[in-house]
Chain A
């Protein structure tokens, strides 16, 4: 799949710093299950994280995102490939002898899903631990820990034990421990998945602000697309051990490269068809008629007659009067219209399928109404059908 390759140029972040914080090349990891079956958790991943950049690994459980993160931490040993942190290669299975720098010598920080706070240590001892273990100058430890606690908004909790804190406070302790050592890169393993929705939003915003202020690079694993879009400068959508697509949130959302990516982030309408023309107006014949599609969604090697999938998002389409005619218009019957606060989710039956369209709550049609669905061609994109690559 062409989209699986990495971006050639390094993006310039908010800080304008350019340079690599993490570089992964050709990483592969296969597990042998108890029944003898081989499971490929990471299947040839290349990834660059620039200094000061946060890259989110997004995907369903089992897609290999956590294995990839743990491989960077050294908690998992890949079968082949290379990992470099900054200028320093920490794993290289491609040379004659496998180089594998142990986790404790990789000098990185990690925030665990369970927080992994040590219950027998106070908050202060938890946060100072990385400094003590790395033999930081004794004199500066107290100051640095207090600064980290301050940044995580828990300056007053140093003497408490983790169990005396709320979930959100525990999360902040874990955050303080991750930033205290000023590691150039922090790994996040679904750090917000264990707190309730309100605290999660609050912490997410704080995490973003903190990252902008401290400028660390991050590799961030999540299965929550909203979190991914907000936290990450770039998102790497993972599928079965590979990166299906990597790019900024808007790029992934607006220009998904595959059906998988389109479906994983947001809702989507899909129509299988054949490419009818590739001229200035690219068109596709679908069971619901001919669709004009965005010209830039065509890929190299595509020719008229090829099977393709037409996709568009519910919010790209509009409900219009049944009498309307024009480009990319299909007629159908409203099956149901669900009120969703910010919009109405309208299901329109066209021939034997249902399209999802978001309508304004005030202009929402009623069930049974005859309507037309219109979608501008620049919002209609093509992706390859499943199985082809």
Chain B
């Protein structure tokens, strides 16, 4: 949905000083809900802050010393930093190359390329990680056995391998694969927003494809590359799902793994050490952010114009099909191969190197869905929490966005900023805050589903808020004003004009929250307990001491649920948009102008 009227920008600017806000029941609800949401976001963060930085009422960094009590801290930091930066560099290069091929050359991938950005929502990272392990563990990895059998036929005999995912390089590559969609998304939107005329001018001036790429295209998207790099570093330090699977198998420990361990392996949890260690990650992210800002600000090459023209397509000639084949292979391998591994193990019911279709059965799925009470309970809990959480989250986010959009004063800006603040801190730290804030007295919610619900909402709601915000921004202010002038109360204007128009954004936001909550691992690892098990928590405990058949079946089940929900969402929002756009899209463009989605979260979810 994107209806923007020509006067929208002007109206939006004017709304700052718009009519006074009257005290109606609707207004009271908006204010109250927004303040409560801000309270839930701020309190846990404040608890972490006070627990760590404030000693006897003074700002004090001595708590940082706790980091030295962490066993093998040096090794952990070295491993984490090297893995984050090497995997990030790989993901950045691969994502940028794929984006350039898709946006600028005739080797574009069609529907597969368009699906790439939504893949992380279809397949949870934990499923990908376990899938890779099942395939390329050196001795019993299914893929490895398959390749060894093939090599045997050629007369080459290997005892193990040839690949070993349970290694430093394995961890780095799998992390990179999982993160490629994010860098792809950011770089391709950078390419789309860059005026193609600049590249055409370079070609006209005599530069070839390669020199144009180096001297014009890359400098032109340096901001996108910078944001992609920052996001990759942020995700790298925050990621828990891939390290906990592959790192554990490879006997490599990273910060996120140890922090979760400090919080869960002993009672009482070693909160001080956990916060101190996570702050090391924060320090790296912040330093990288400062470095990136300094690099990007010091030399400004391009002022990118308003409405970008699309660039001429570069013909790759003989390289077209190799390039296309390579990228399609890459996407298929990184997204579907792990699922094949999961499927084979789930059908076998156990993990051995061999593939024997004669032994295939659905017993593992039966166990997960019917026979294993722990898994069944976890699935029930997760579905309940995800549906409840996504519904509450979308309603609260919609009200909070409306509240913040009413006018721009400092109070509203502050409330809005606080609600979004948890998104800027890693999930691990926010979750520690949730434990500090709500598990003990006076709330005493430790070991309840309520603390999981609160945790999920605080951690993931900012994403829904941003999605809904971009929907609201696309609704021209005059559409609401026309309703008010027609005699509609604020409540009627909201329910009859604003909400219907942002409905696709609300559906997208709900899906985003549902997917994140149902496949959450990090927050669940710390907030759930044996009595309040959820899918992520169950996957971790099965991984540590259970059957691989059950594990694979659980992973596939989550993947199936998220895939169905995401595809259903695409169908629903697509139908909504078609209905309003009608047949006359060109007329829409001229009058009630349709603009491309500006928000990246929406881009993640909607195919172009």
Residues of A within 8 A of B (CB): 31, 70, 73-77, 100, 102-105, 107-110, 112-120, 129-130, 133-134, 160-167, 170, 177, 181, 187, 194
Which A residues touch B579, using CB under 8 A?
161
CB of B287 within 8 Å of the partner chain: no
A164 to B483, CA, bound (A): 21
The reply to whether A114 and B7 form a contact with Cβ atoms under 8 Å apart is yes
With the chains together, A118 CA to B5 CA distance in Å?
11
B482 touches A112 (CB 8 A): yes
Contact A70/B587 with A103-B484, A104-B488, A116-B5 known, Cβ cut-off 8 Å: no
Q: Distance (Å) between the CB of A123 and the closest chain B CB? A: 12
Given the complex of chains A and B, what is the CA–CA distance between A65 and B579 in angstroms? 37
Q: Which of B17-25, B35-43, B73-81, B448-456 contacts A (4 or more CB under 8 A)?
A: B17-25
B485 at interface, CB cutoff 8 A: yes
Nearest-Cβ distance from residue A169 to partner chain B, whole angstroms: 9
Interface residue count for B (Cβ, 8 Å)?
Answer: 40
Residues of chain A lying within 8 A (CB to CB) of residue B587 = 163-167
- On chain B, the residues within 8 Å of A75 by CB distance are 14, 18-19, 481, 484-485
B482 contacts A116, C-beta separation under 8 Å: yes
Shortest CB-to-CB span from A195 to chain B, Å, is 9
Bound Cα distance A175, B14 (Å): 24
**Chain B positions 198 through 233: 1 when the CB is less than 8 Å from some CB of chain A, otherwise 0:** 000000000000000000000000000000000000
Q: Is B478 within 8 A of A114, CB to CB?
A: yes
Does B486 touch A at the CB level, under 8 Å? yes
How near does chain A come to B19, taking the closest CB pair, in angstroms?
6
User: Known contacts A113-B6, A170-B591; is A104 also within 8 Å of B487 by CB?
Assistant: yes
User: Are A163 and B486 neighbours in the complex by a CB distance under 8 Å?
Assistant: no
> If A161-B580, A164-B587 touch, does A177 touch B486 (CB 8 Å cutoff)?
yes
Q: Does B588 contact A (CB under 8 A)?
A: yes
- The reply to whether the CB of B479 lies closer than 8 angstroms to some CB of chain A is yes
Whether A31 and B17, one on each chain, are in contact in the complex, defined by CB atoms closer than 8 angstroms, is yes
Q: Jot down 17 A-B pairs with beta carbons below 8 A, ordered by A.
A: A75-B14, A75-B484, A77-B20, A103-B485, A109-B485, A110-B481, A113-B7, A114-B478, A114-B592, A115-B5, A118-B482, A118-B483, A129-B488, A133-B486, A161-B582, A163-B592, A164-B584
Interface residues of B in 565-608 (CB under 8 A from A): 579-585, 587-588, 590-592
Report which residue of A104, A114, A194 has the largest number of chain B beta carbons within 10 angstroms of its beta carbon. Answer: A114
* A16 to B32 alpha-carbon distance, docked (Å): 54
Alpha-carbon gap, A207 to B479, bound state (A): 22
In the complex, the answer to whether A116 meets B478 with C-beta atoms within 8 Å is yes
0 or 1 for each of B467-497: is its CB under 8 Å from A? (1 = yes)? 0000000001011011111111100100011
Q: Name B's A-contacting residues (CB within 8 A).
A: 3, 5-8, 14, 17-20, 22, 476, 478-479, 481-489, 492, 496-497, 500-501, 579-585, 587-588, 590-592
Main secondary structure of the interface of A (DSSP, over half): loop
Residue numbers in A under 8 Å from B582 (CB-CB): 160-161, 163-164
Q: A104-B485, A133-B488 are in contact. Are A194 and B580 (CB under 8 A)?
A: no
Measured in the bound complex, the distance between the Cα atoms of B478 and A119 in whole Å is: 12
Contact A162 B592 (CB under 8 A): yes
* CB-based nearest B residue for A102: B22
The listed residue (A70, A104, A166) touching B489 by CB distance below 8 A is: A104
Contact B3–A119 (Cβ < 8 Å): yes
The CA of A307 and the CA of B403, in the complex, are separated in Å by 57
Residues of chain B within 8 A of A119, CB atoms compared: 3, 501, 580, 592
Q: Once the chains bind, are A102 and B19 in contact (CB under 8 Å)?
A: yes
Do B6 and A163 have beta carbons less than 8 Å apart? no
Distance to closest chain A CB from B485 (angstroms): 4
Beta-carbon contact of A104 and B478 below 8 Å: no
Cβ–Cβ < 8 Å partners of B489 in chain A: 104, 133
Nearest Cβ on chain A to B377's Cβ, whole angstroms: 42
Does B500 contact A120, Cβ atoms closer than 8 Å?
Answer: yes
Minimum distance in angstroms from A178 CB to a CB of chain B = 9
Q: Which of A100, A102, A103, A119 has the most CB of B within 10 A?
A: A119
Q: How far is the CB of B480 from chain A (nearest CB, A)?
A: 9
**Cβ-defined contact, A129 with B486, below 8 A:** yes
Pick from A76, A110, A130: contact of B19, CB under 8 Å: A76
**Distance of A133 Cα from B493 Cα, bound (Å):** 10
The CA of A108 and the CA of B485, in the complex, are separated in Å by 7
For the complex, what is the distance from the CA of A113 to the CA of B7, rounded to whole Å? 7
Residues of B within 8 A of A113 (CB): 5-7, 478
Least CB distance from A69 to B in Å reads 11
User: In the complex, which of the residues B6, B483, B487, B496 has the most CB atoms of chain A within 10 Å of its own CB atom?
Assistant: B487
User: For B483, what are the chain A residues with a Cβ–Cβ distance below 8 Å?
Assistant: 118, 129, 133
Question: How distant is B397 from chain A, measured CB to nearest CB, in Å?
Answer: 21
Which B residue's beta carbon lies closest to that of A134? Answer: B487
Whether A103 pairs with B592 at a CB distance below 8 angstroms is no
State in angstroms the CA–CA spacing of A318 and B588 once bound together: 49
Which residues in A have their C-beta under 8 angstroms from that of B592? 114-115, 117, 119, 162-163, 170
Instruction: Kindly provide the distance from the CB of A359 to the nearest chain B CB, expressed in whole angstroms.
Output: 40
A110: which B residues are within 8 A, CB to CB? 481-482, 485
Chain A residues with CB below 8 A from B486, complex form = 104, 109, 129-130, 133-134, 177, 181
CB-nearest residue of chain B to A105 = B487
Residues of A within 8 A of B580 (CB): 119-120, 161, 163
* A112 in contact with B7 (CB, 8 Å): yes
A66 to chain B, nearest CB (A): 8
- Given A75-B18, A77-B19, A112–B481 Cβ distance below 8 Å? yes
What would 10 more interface pairs be, CB under 8 Å, given A110-B481, A112-B5?
A: A73-B481, A103-B19, A104-B484, A107-B487, A112-B482, A114-B5, A114-B476, A118-B483, A129-B483, A167-B590
Q: Give, as a whole number of angstroms, the nearest-CB distance from B406 to chain A.
A: 13
Partner of A118, one of B6, B487, B497: B497
- The distance in angstroms between the C-alpha atoms of A118 and B497, with both chains bound, is 7
**Chain B residues with CB below 8 A from A166, complex form:** 584, 587
B86 to chain A, nearest CB (A): 44
Chain B residues with CB under 8 A of A117: 482, 592
Tell me which residues across on chain B come within 8 A of A107, comparing CB atoms: 487
Q: Chain A: which residue is nearest B482 at the CB level?
A: A116
Residue ID in chain B nearest A120 by CB atoms: B500
CB distance from B65 to the nearest CB of A (A): 44
Q: Given that A114-B7, A117-B592, A163-B582 are contacting pairs, would A76 and B485 also be in contact in the complex, using a CB cutoff of 8 Å?
A: no
CB-based contact A120/B488 at 8 Å: no
Q: Given the known A-B contacts A113-B7, A114-B478, A130-B487, are A165 and B584 also in contact in the complex, defined by CB atoms under 8 Å?
A: yes
Residue on A with the closest CB to B582? A164
User: A378 vs B588: C-alpha distance in the bound complex, in angstroms?
Assistant: 52
Which of B6, B19, B590, B591: most chain A CB closer than 10 A? B591
State the Cβ distance, A91 to closest chain B Cβ, in Å. Answer: 11
CA A194 to CA B487, docked complex, whole Å: 25
Query: What's the minimum C-beta distance from B82 to chain A, rounded to whole angstroms?
Result: 45
Contact A76 B3 (CB under 8 A): no
Q: Cβ of B584: which chain A residues have Cβ within 8 Å of it?
A: 163-166
Quick one: closest A residue to B594, CB to CB?
A163
Q: Which residues of A contact B3 (CB under 8 A)?
A: 119
Nearest residue, chain A, Cβ from B485: A110
CA distance A110 to B481 in the complex (A): 9
Residue with the highest number of chain A CB atoms closer than 10 Å, among B18, B476, B484 = B484
**One of A31, A77, A130, A164 near B583 (C-beta < 8 A):** A164
- Across the interface, B501 reaches (CB within 8 A) one of A108, A120, A160, namely A120
Q: How far is the CA of A166 from the CA of B592 in the complex (A)?
A: 11
- In whole angstroms, what is the CA distance A382 to B262 when docked? 88
| Contact between A118 and B485, CB atoms less than 8 A apart | no
